[in-house]
Amino acid sequence: MVSSALPTTTAWTAVTDLATPENFLSLRTHQQGERIESRLETTAIDGLSAGEVVVRNRYAGVNYKDSLAILGRARIIETYPRTAGIELVGEVVRSDSDRFAPGQLVMAHGFRTGIAFDGGFAQFARVPAAHLMAVPQGLDALQAATIGVPGFTAAMALDRFIA
């Protein structure tokens, strides 16, 4: 039997569960004059863009647009500092919206997430309720995360084709 030295998903989850909305890690992108610089920072939820729902991020897609943004190769981010990540999947921790309850799995994609609003490259996100959708019954967080940009692109194409 071959054993693996790689950490399991369960072990990783246990480490990320130590974070709180008052003290967590995020990949923040800053503008320093003409230079764009991204770094891992300790953040508090109050330091992020406004929103009614606090989400513990479980998965965030890494898209071409995200790489351009955090490396400063394109001026995609509208205001700085910003947490990039144009899509995220996670569970609701707190909600001031009647649409979402603590423990519910949700996903965000679009609505300028990671561009004008802080995105998924963090342990937590504060998201406007209007930018979230419930993960469909029968899908877990990982399955929902695999839909991401390719899934939405295919769905939009089918919608236009059928219409």
Tokens of 131: 């930018």
pLDDT computed for residue 56 by the predictor:
97
Write the pLDDT tens digit of every residue in 70-84: 999 998 999 999 999
Tokens of 44: 């508090």
**Cα 25-71-47 angle, rounded to 5 deg:** 35
Is residue 3 a part of any domain in this protein? no
Is residue 142 a part of any domain in this protein? yes
Query: 74, 23 in Cβ contact below 8 A?
Result: no
Is residue 2 a part of any domain in this protein? no
Is residue 4 a part of any domain in this protein? no
Confidence check: pLDDT of 27 > 60: yes
CATH at 99: 3.90.180.10
Residue numbers of the domain that contains 51: 9-162
- Distance, in Å, from the CA atom of 139 to the CA atom of 120, rounded to the nearest integer, reads 19
Tell if the pTM clears 0.95, that is, is over it. no
Radius of gyration over alpha carbons of the chain, in Å? Answer: 16
Q: What is the pLDDT confidence band of residue 85, given thresholds at 50, 70 and 90?
A: very high
- Distance, in Å, from the CA atom of 17 to the CA atom of 2, rounded to the nearest integer, reads 29
Total number of domains in the chain? 1
pLDDT computed for residue 16 by the predictor:
58
Beta-carbon contacts of residue 95 (< 8 Å; ≥ 6 apart)? 52, 53, 54, 101, 102, 129
- Distance, in Å, from the CA atom of 34 to the CA atom of 58, rounded to the nearest integer, reads 33
pLDDT computed for residue 10 by the predictor:
53
Amino acid at the residue 95: S
Is residue 155 a part of any domain in this protein? yes
Is residue 21 a part of any domain in this protein? yes
pLDDT computed for residue 154 by the predictor:
79
Is residue 107 a part of any domain in this protein? yes
Q: Give the CA distances from residue 24 to residues 21, 32, 40, 56, 58, in Å, rounded to whole numbers and listed in that order.
A: 6, 23, 10, 10, 13
Confidence check: pLDDT of 101 > 60: yes
Is residue 112 a part of any domain in this protein? yes
Write the pLDDT tens digit of every residue in 108-157: 998 999 999 999 999 999 999 999 999 999 999 999 998 877 777 777 78
Give 141's DSSP letter. Answer: H
